[in-house]
Structure 1
Amino acid sequence: YLDEGSVQCKTAQPDSSYKFCLLHSFAFVITFLDQPYLWARLDRKPNKQAEKRFKNFLHSKGNPKEFFWNVEEDFKPAPECWIPAKEIEQINGNPVPDENGHIPGTMMSLLMQFCKKNNKQYCWHSSVVNYEFEIALVLKHHPDDSGLLEISAVPLSDLLEQTLELIGTNINGNPCGLGSKKHPLHLPIPHGAFQIRNLPSLKHNHLLSWFEGCKDGKIEGIVWHCSDGCLIKVHRHHLGLCWPIPDTYMNSRPVIINMNLNKCDSKFARLKDIIFDV
């Protein structure tokens, strides 16, 4: 999912009567060969023959857990440096596909720029990172003014073990209206960068009212940060609400750019020419 500035609630405990979905984040930062890198979600998908068998099985029996997968033969080859998602179930050393017939995993953004032809939708992650200076362009709240948003260059080392969502021109229909086809703009948002101020109780009708009636609720979803490290998300679609919507929370906030462009190469230098209409 695109999570428009995930909001954080460290004290919340999900109501056992309400169904939440575990979040598979779009990106996270971990080290590789002692250097921090941005990794993005990239699911392995079945080939056409296996996908057809899977769909026919669902139509006849309906339970995806009963379908037999031959991971070595049924799935498209994994790109180099692809790794399966953490804690994914494995049988005989092979990851088990989820209920959608996909194997959740991640791929290093540095390699995505070389995979643009085959994985065009994933190459945008590499555009937000400068590995020479080990920094990433990040969108978050201004530290001194909660009414402002700030784009700043953040050391990748400061983002280690964090999950992030990528938003921008070529991501999920671009509900925030960033950039243009000629001048695309993409930015990662750390989970927890936007916190809930008027916390709704974890009841279906209270969450529904918060998303529909609260100004802060004009977002795509909420991410709960659990004490055991798990991230759990409720999306507007889980409540039967529409997305995208006009006048989102992100679009109602002015944005400032806070970075020293003299220390960066031309990859980020064009930011000085961007005009934000706020």
Structure 2
Amino acid sequence: MRRVGSVQQKIPCVFLTEVKEEASRKRDAQHYQVVATETLNPVAVESDVHHALATEKLDGTCCYVSLYRGEPHLWARLDRKPTKQADKRFKKYQYTQKTCKGGFTWNVEEDFRVVPDSWIPARQVQCESGHPVPDEHGHIPGWVPVDNSNKQYCWHASVVDYDTCEALVLRPSDADEAVLEIVSVSLRELMEQTLELIGTNVNGNPYGLGSKRNPLHVLVPHGILRVQNAPAVEFGQLYSWFQDSDAGRVEGIVWHCNDGTLVKVHRHHLGLKWPDDDTFLNSRPVVISVDRIRCDPPNSTNNLFSALSRITGRRFSSVRDVQLDA
């Protein structure tokens, strides 16, 4: 069974966490909260998180670039989840596991919802007897290729052009890291990378990109937005940074440790609201650098690539202020 993608089944919190029986601030249907304690996670300590690269955690949906039918392709995150009946059995087991003997046994063929034939489990997913093994939450992380035939992934499809093998990417400018740029990048340059799709129709659009009439979506490579002058990895200092610093107006931090381990903290782990007023992403100017010749030929349809190519070279005060031609 082919497996692609470096998405971890779950990036652990930099602190040890505990569950509180209160309504989640992050998920409306979740009747509990996962909150951070003040104790560093041993995983983070062992991976030397104090010398790790701190990067901004973006509020979007995870994507991946890898081959599909021999060509570079964008893949959307699709976790295979259990059926309602299997999920009820699993939750009952979780509730009684302190007194229950033995582990929970899944029948992957019968207990999980049907996924497209092109679906592939992520790389870290273990396999037994040719079947992927669900994680501790009863999910099987994986990917599905993005194309124009599936309306569910229409916003993913808007940021790729398979005719030119290009993707729309938001990243810091090479000339000035404080300035962002929206560029068209070859999918081949993004091979085997994970990225975050953000924009008008993703997760409530906390960054204010585009509009209903002119939606705007972009891909942001994971780890590319560095946190400058990051706070020490200590509960009180992180709490103060998120609450009081302009740079702390982010969803969270992901630390990239030298041994490859990733650990994170989310504002919700610290009991803080998200989004909270404006975001730090919108404090940075952005320049449009989408190639007009490749992306806006005379017979081009009015898609996102051509719309951006018509304003190439323009500078805006933030991504929120990017105005697309109707």
TM-score by length of 2: 0.71
- The one-letter code sitting in structure 1 at the alignment partner of 2:264 is K
C-alpha contact (below 8 Å) 1:219/1:249 kept by paired residues: yes
In the other structure, the counterpart of 2:109 is: 72
- The one-letter code sitting in structure 1 at the alignment partner of 2:126 is E
Kindly report the root-mean-square deviation, in angstroms, between the aligned alpha carbons of the 2 structures.
Answer: 2.8
In the other structure, the counterpart of 2:291 is: 260
**1:98 counterpart SS class:** coil
Compute the displacement of 1:83 (Å): 0.9
Percent identical pairs in the alignment equals 50
Residues 1:173 and 2:204 are matched in the alignment: yes
Q: Out of 279, 300, 308, which is 1:248 matched to?
A: 279
Residues 1:277 and 2:314 are matched in the alignment: no
Aligned mates of 1:31, 1:236 — CA distance in 2: 35
**2:73 counterpart SS class:** strand
- The one-letter code sitting in structure 2 at the alignment partner of 1:139 is L
C-alpha contact (below 8 Å) 1:28/1:39 kept by paired residues: yes
Q: Deviations over 1:79-138 (max 9, x none)?
A: 12211111223332222222322111111123xx3222xxx2x33212101111111001
TM-score by length of 1: 0.82
In the other structure, the counterpart of 1:18 is: 40
Aligned mates of 2:66, 2:129 — CA distance in 1: 27
Residues 1:102 and 2:139 are matched in the alignment: yes
C-alpha contact (below 8 Å) 1:169/1:180 kept by paired residues: yes
Q: 1:62 to 1:69 in 2, by over 3 A?
A: farther
In the other structure, the counterpart of 1:231 is: 262
In the other structure, the counterpart of 2:71 is: 35
Residues 1:203 and 2:271 are matched in the alignment: no
Residues 1:142 and 2:142 are matched in the alignment: no
Aligned mates of 1:35, 1:124 — CA distance in 2: 20
In the other structure, the counterpart of 1:216 is: 247
Aligned mates of 1:80, 1:43 — CA distance in 2: 14
Residues 1:161 and 2:198 are matched in the alignment: no
Q: Which has the higher contact order (CA 8 A, sep 6+)?
A: 1
Q: 1:127 to 1:15 in 2, by over 3 A?
A: same
Aligned mates of 1:183, 1:98 — CA distance in 2: 39
Aligned length: 257
Residues 1:186 and 2:186 are matched in the alignment: no
Q: 1:231 to 1:186 in 2, by over 3 A?
A: same
In the other structure, the counterpart of 1:4 is: none
Higher Cα radius of gyration = 2
**1:256 counterpart SS class:** strand
Compute the displacement of 1:33 (Å): 3.9
Aligned mates of 2:163, 2:99 — CA distance in 1: 48
C-alpha contact (below 8 Å) 1:15/1:202 kept by paired residues: no
Compute the displacement of 1:42 (Å): 0.5
**1:211 counterpart SS class:** helix
